[in-house]
Amino acid sequence: GAQGGWVLTATARSPTNIAVIKYWGKRDETLILPVNDSISVTLDPDHLSATTTVAVSPSFDRDRMWLNGTEISLSGGRFQNCLREIRQRARDVENKEKGIHIRKEDWEKLHVHIASYNNFPTAAGLASSAAGFACLVFTLAKLMNVSEDGAALSSIARQGSGSACRSLYGGFVKWVKGEAANGSDSIAVQLVDESYWNDLVVIIAVVSSRQKETSSTSGMRDSVVTSTLLQHRAEVIVPSRILQMEEAIKNRNFGSFARLTCADSNQFHAVCLDTTPPIFYMNDTSHRVINTVERWSQFEGAPQVAYTFDAGPNAVLIAPSREVASLLLQRLLFFFPPPPDTKLEGYMVGDTSI
């Protein structure tokens, strides 16, 4: 029974993901249902991931959470929705070694303590909520012996943060917008696993580690209400791009992949500019990175690397191979030279670190 001084824990790690066809705009704010499908690539967990431990004990009197060692409030609707959805699916848990048997119905009365760490600075604006909510949902499900598959878990993670649903899988992942009003079919689907196109190298150029000024949640709300470009994008452009992107990934066609990725990033930022009041996520350095890549590709007569920018100025660059990634780094070092006293360990380039 759930008495005594025992503690049971589960730990898991989830990587972050970078969208190559962007999610921007919700049709339902509470359930977090998007206006269009999106496609992302899940990164290697060694570099950008969240690690979460969830503990349960009869001695805990309320649910609590710590992020990078600092306690944060769990009162937000998104945390509560994820916790509730997982708790509803909790099953019997037996740990013979510790002599613990938690019955299904005990989970309603038990409280959890959650400790989550990012292995990258949260302030850098690098999709920390995607890894965070994916990991929270996965770890809770593991602790509570939830039997739901990845698709069902992705639908729960989605209610924490839209982009989180795509982090439940590795490789290339599509978040299908779905049709159901209750969101049951708004799930993540793996297109290909992480080994399918493993020549790709992702380089993140941190242009600024300042927190973004407009949150994604409020930014996309404003875009849905005011941008006519968003409507056209969601209804016409994205459905066709999704098909082309799936084809490019299946064929490992880097030229097509890069053209679609860059065009979709630029259109997402055009939607931001088309929003009233306009939202500026990229800065002059971001624009210079785009120029550097575009000129290089133009000179070679074919896309050399893909670039994509999320709700902040940092550049995510995707190269087709280690060789091209190395050429890219040389170019970045040339165009964004480091100040004389910069240690190149970990690579810092001017105000651009990689």
The answer to whether residues 20 and 41 touch, using CB atoms and an 8 Å cutoff, is yes
The answer to whether residues 302 and 314 touch, using CB atoms and an 8 Å cutoff, is no
Q: Can you tell me which residue has the tokens 């490992």?
A: 252
Q: Can you tell me which residue has the tokens 């924490």?
A: 160
* Span near ligand 2P0 by CB under 6 A; candidates 2-10, 18-26, 272-280, 325-333: 18-26
Answer for which of 2, 10, 12, 32 binds ligand 2P0 (CB under 6 A) is: 32
> Is residue 266 a contact residue for ligand 2P0 (CB under 6 A)?
no
Q: How far is the CB of 95 from ligand 2P0 (least distance, A)?
A: 34
Q: How far is the CB of 242 from ligand 2P0 (least distance, A)?
A: 12
The secondary structure of 212-233 as a DSSP string is PSS-HHHHHHHHHHH-HHHHHI
Q: How far apart (Å, rounded) are the C-alpha atoms in residues 15 and 81?
A: 22
With respect to ligand 2P0, which residue has the nearer C-beta, 102 or 131? 131
Binding mask 150-169 for ligand 2P0 (x = CB under 6 A): -----------xxx------
Q: How far apart (Å, rounded) are the C-alpha atoms in residues 286 and 36?
A: 26
> Is residue 79 a contact residue for ligand 2P0 (CB under 6 A)?
no
CA torsion 14-166-221-159 (nearest 10°) is -70
- 95 CB contacts (<8 Å, ≥6 apart)? 8, 101
Q: Is the dihedral of CA 214, 127, 225, 268 positive or negative?
A: positive
How many Cβ atoms sit within 10 Å of the Cβ of residue 326?
Answer: 12
> Is residue 230 a contact residue for ligand 2P0 (CB under 6 A)?
no
> Is residue 352 a contact residue for ligand 2P0 (CB under 6 A)?
no
Answer for which of 16, 36, 216, 314 binds ligand 2P0 (CB under 6 A) is: 216
Burial of 346 (0-12, 13-18, 19+ CB in 10 A): exposed
Sites for ligand 2P0 among residues 293-332 (CB under 6 A):
310-311
- 142 CB contacts (<8 Å, ≥6 apart)? 10, 12
The answer to whether residues 98 and 44 touch, using CB atoms and an 8 Å cutoff, is no
With respect to ligand 2P0, which residue has the nearer C-beta, 18 or 349? 18
With respect to ligand 2P0, which residue has the nearer C-beta, 131 or 143? 131
> Is residue 145 a contact residue for ligand 2P0 (CB under 6 A)?
no
Short-list 138, 136, 202, 212, CA closest to 169: 138
Q: How far is the CB of 175 from ligand 2P0 (least distance, A)?
A: 8
> Is residue 22 a contact residue for ligand 2P0 (CB under 6 A)?
yes
Total interface residues for ligand 2P0 by CB under 6 A: 14
With respect to ligand 2P0, which residue has the nearer C-beta, 52 or 216? 216
Sites for ligand 2P0 among residues 98-137 (CB under 6 A):
129
With respect to ligand 2P0, which residue has the nearer C-beta, 121 or 337? 121
* Span near ligand 2P0 by CB under 6 A; candidates 21-29, 41-49, 98-106, 296-304: 21-29
> Is residue 217 a contact residue for ligand 2P0 (CB under 6 A)?
yes
Answer for which of 14, 16, 36, 38 binds ligand 2P0 (CB under 6 A) is: 38
Short-list 161, 166, 216, 180, CA closest to 24: 216
With respect to ligand 2P0, which residue has the nearer C-beta, 24 or 79? 24
Give the footprint of ligand 2P0 on this chain (CB under 6 A). 19, 22-24, 32, 38, 129, 161-163, 216-217, 310-311
